[in-house]
Amino acid sequence: MPLEYLPIMAKNSAPKPPRILVSPSKPAWCPITKPVSASRVALLSSAALRLTHQKMFIPREDMSYRRIPSDPEAGEITIDHHSGIGRVPKQDPEIVFPRTALAEFAKRGIVGSLAPFHFSFMGGVRRPQEIENELAPAIANDLQQAQVDLALLVPY
């Protein structure tokens, strides 16, 4: 039986109301037309990740995002998300953002190629309309520009 997170989050957020979970107002389904081995892949993370020299995210309502080079040699990653669970992933961000594993898969031909950048933003932001109207379209546009075939989203 999987652990239920919603009751834990509700208890921890008291006396504030729990976060409201919001689905997209226009659900979409885009068929997969290419095998992974022929696809350009990008990672998306809500852990508020960045390279150490990039601008810090400001908890808790930061609406910006960072482009993180997909090359694992491009620099060290840090996590700005405020969650109490951060102690462990801050030791090794690859456990929420498998940039090295994905690059290795690209070398081996398991995935076709890497997008030049992966993306990260602040999870848990309580501004769903701005996420849908501003943040998500901006990232979607970057993904299109990079001709990405598949986006892997890792919630934090």
Partner 1 sequence: MIEASGIPTLVIGTAHDIMSKVAPPRAAFVDHPVGRTFGPPNNRQRNESVLAKALAELPKFTRAGEIHDLGCNWSPDGNRAWEDQLRAEMSQDR
The candidate with the shortest Cα–Cα distance to 119, out of 59, 57, 46, 55, is 46
Q: Apex CA 40: angle with CA 50 and CA 66, to 5°?
A: 15
Beta carbon of residue 51, minimum distance to partner 1 (angstroms, whole number): 19
Residue 45, phi then psi, degrees to nearest 5: -130, 140
155 touches partner 1 by CB under 8 A: yes
First and final C-alpha spacing in the chain: 20
Interface region with partner 1, contact rule CB under 8 A, candidates 48-56, 61-69, 89-97: 89-97
Interface region with partner 1, contact rule CB under 8 A, candidates 49-57, 63-71, 102-110: 102-110
Q: Assess contact for 82 and 62: CB atoms under 8 A.
A: no
Among the listed residues 48, 49, 68, 102, the single contact to partner 1 using CB under 8 A:
102
What does the buried/exposed string (b/e) look like for 104-122 if buried means 16 or more CB atoms within 10 Å of the residue's CB? ebbeeeebbebbbbbbbbb
Among the listed residues 38, 71, 101, 107, the single contact to partner 1 using CB under 8 A:
101
Among the listed residues 55, 58, 61, 104, the single contact to partner 1 using CB under 8 A:
104
Among the listed residues 31, 52, 76, 129, the single contact to partner 1 using CB under 8 A:
31
Beta carbon of residue 80, minimum distance to partner 1 (angstroms, whole number): 14
Beta carbon of residue 86, minimum distance to partner 1 (angstroms, whole number): 7
Q: Assess contact for 64 and 139: CB atoms under 8 A.
A: no
Residue 94, phi then psi, degrees to nearest 5: -60, -20
| Contact footprint for partner 1 (CB under 8 A) | 2-6, 8-9, 12-13, 21-24, 26-32, 35-36, 44, 82-89, 91-92, 94-96, 98, 100-102, 104-105, 110-111, 132, 136-137, 139-141, 143-144, 148-156
